[in-house]
Structure 1
Amino acid sequence: MERNIRLNYGFSFFQFIGLTSLWVFYLSQKGFSAVEIGMMEAVFHSASFCFEVPSGGLADRLGYRNVLILSRVANSISCLFIVASTSFMWVTIGFIFSALSYNLASGTNEALVYESLKNEKKEQRYLTVWSTTTMIMEIASSVGMVLAGLLSMYYFDGVYWIQLAMNGCAILLACWMVDPKRPQNQHTIRQVMKHAVAEVKKSPKLVRFMLSFAFVDACRATYVLYVQSYFETLAINGFGLSLLLVISSVFQVVSVRLAPKLVTTYSLPVIYLSNVLLTAVAIASSGSVRVGIVLASFFVANALEALMYPIQSNVINQLIQSDQRATVNSISSLCYSLVMIPVFPIVGWFIEATNYAPTYLWLGLLVGLCGSYLALKIKRVEGEDKKK
Structure 2
Amino acid sequence: MNPAARRVQRIYLTLMLGNTLAASFIWGINTLFLLDAGLSNFEAFAANAFFTVGMVIFEIPTGVVADTVGRKVSYLLGTITLSVTTGLYWMLWLWHSPFVWWALVSVLLGLGFTFFSGAVEAWLVDALAFTGYTGSLEAVFGRGLVVTGIAMFTGSVLGGVIAQATNLGVPFLVRAGVLVVMFIFAYMVMRDLGFTPDRSAGPLKATRNVLTQSVEHGLRKRSVRYVIFSAPFAGGVGIYAFYALQPYLLQLYGDPTAYSIAGLAAAVLSLAQVGGGLLAPRIRSLFAKRTSMMLVAGLISIGTLVALGLNGVFWLAVVLLVVWGFVFAVAGPVRQAYLNDMIPSKQRATVLSFDSLFGSLGGVVIQPALGRAADLQGYGPSLVIGAVVELIGVPFLLASRRQRDRADTNTARADAAAPAA
Structure 2 residue 19 is the aligned partner of structure 1 residue 15: yes
Q: Counterpart in 2 of 1:107?
A: 118
C-alpha distance after superposition, 1:100-137 (max 9, x if no partner): 11100000010011001010232534221121112111
Question: Among residues 142, 164, 181, which one is paired with 1:131 in the alignment?
Answer: 142
1:1-388 correspondence runs (5 A): 1-2=4-5, 3-17=7-21, 18-21=24-27, 22-85=29-92, 86-87=96-97, 88-153=99-164, 154-175=166-187, 176-182=189-195, 184-185=197-198, 186-188=200-202, 189-190=206-207, 191-234=209-252, 235=254, 237-266=258-287, 267-287=289-309, 288-368=311-391, 370-382=392-404
Q: Is the partner of 1:286 in helix, strand or coil? A: helix
1:4 Cα deviation after fit: 3.2
TM-score (norm 1): 0.93
1:56–1:375: structure 2 CA closer, same or farther, 3 Å change rule?
closer
**Contact 1:10/1:173 (CA < 8 Å) preserved in 2?**
no
C-alpha distance after superposition, 1:201-233 (max 9, x if no partner): 331111111222442232122112111121222
C-alpha distance after superposition, 1:158-209 (max 9, x if no partner): 1111112211221122112111133553444312223222332331111111
1:205–1:248: structure 2 CA closer, same or farther, 3 Å change rule?
closer
1:96 Cα deviation after fit: 1.6
Q: Counterpart in 1 of 2:416?
A: none
What code does the residue aligned with 2:270 have?
S
Q: Is the partner of 1:180 in helix, strand or coil? A: coil
Q: Is the partner of 2:218 in helix, strand or coil? A: helix
Number of residue pairs the alignment of both structures matches: 386
What code does the residue aligned with 1:107 have?
G
What code does the residue aligned with 2:195 have?
R
Q: Is the partner of 1:16 in helix, strand or coil? A: helix
Counterpart Cα distance in 2 of 1:333 and 1:352: 28
1:35 Cα deviation after fit: 0.5
Sequence identity percentage? 20
1:342–1:247: structure 2 CA closer, same or farther, 3 Å change rule?
closer
Counterpart Cα distance in 2 of 1:270 and 1:338: 25
What code does the residue aligned with 1:73 have?
I
C-alpha distance after superposition, 1:23-47 (max 9, x if no partner): 1121112221111012112211111
1:187–1:320: structure 2 CA closer, same or farther, 3 Å change rule?
farther
**Contact 2:280/2:333 (CA < 8 Å) preserved in 1?**
yes
What code does the residue aligned with 1:240 have?
I
RMSD: 2.1
**Contact 1:117/1:125 (CA < 8 Å) preserved in 2?**
no
Q: Is the partner of 2:404 in helix, strand or coil? A: helix
1:325–1:6: structure 2 CA closer, same or farther, 3 Å change rule?
same
Counterpart Cα distance in 1 of 2:328 and 2:201: 36
Counterpart Cα distance in 2 of 1:372 and 1:321: 26
C-alpha distance after superposition, 1:329-353 (max 9, x if no partner): 1011011012111111100111111
Counterpart Cα distance in 2 of 1:118 and 1:194: 25
1:244 Cα deviation after fit: 5.0
What code does the residue aligned with 2:138 have?
L
TM-score (norm 2): 0.86
1:384–1:167: structure 2 CA closer, same or farther, 3 Å change rule?
closer
**Contact 2:228/2:358 (CA < 8 Å) preserved in 1?**
yes
Q: Is the partner of 2:167 in helix, strand or coil? A: coil
**Contact 2:223/2:399 (CA < 8 Å) preserved in 1?**
no
Gap runs ≥5 in structure 2: 409-421
Gap runs ≥5 in structure 1: none
Q: Is the partner of 1:179 in helix, strand or coil? A: coil
1:372–1:210: structure 2 CA closer, same or farther, 3 Å change rule?
closer
1:283 Cα deviation after fit: 0.9
Counterpart Cα distance in 2 of 1:245 and 1:56: 28
C-alpha distance after superposition, 1:241-260 (max 9, x if no partner): 33454343222201111111
Mean alpha-carbon deviation: is it higher for 97-106 or for 125-134? Answer: 125-134
Counterpart Cα distance in 2 of 1:100 and 1:12: 18
**Contact 2:222/2:403 (CA < 8 Å) preserved in 1?**
no
1:155 Cα deviation after fit: 2.3
Counterpart Cα distance in 2 of 1:377 and 1:125: 25
Mean alpha-carbon deviation: is it higher for 216-225 or for 45-54? Answer: 216-225
C-alpha distance after superposition, 1:247-306 (max 9, x if no partner): 432222011111112222202232122112111111111122222332222222222222
The runs of 4+ residues in structure 1 deviating greater than 6 Å are: 383-386
What code does the residue aligned with 1:242 have?
G
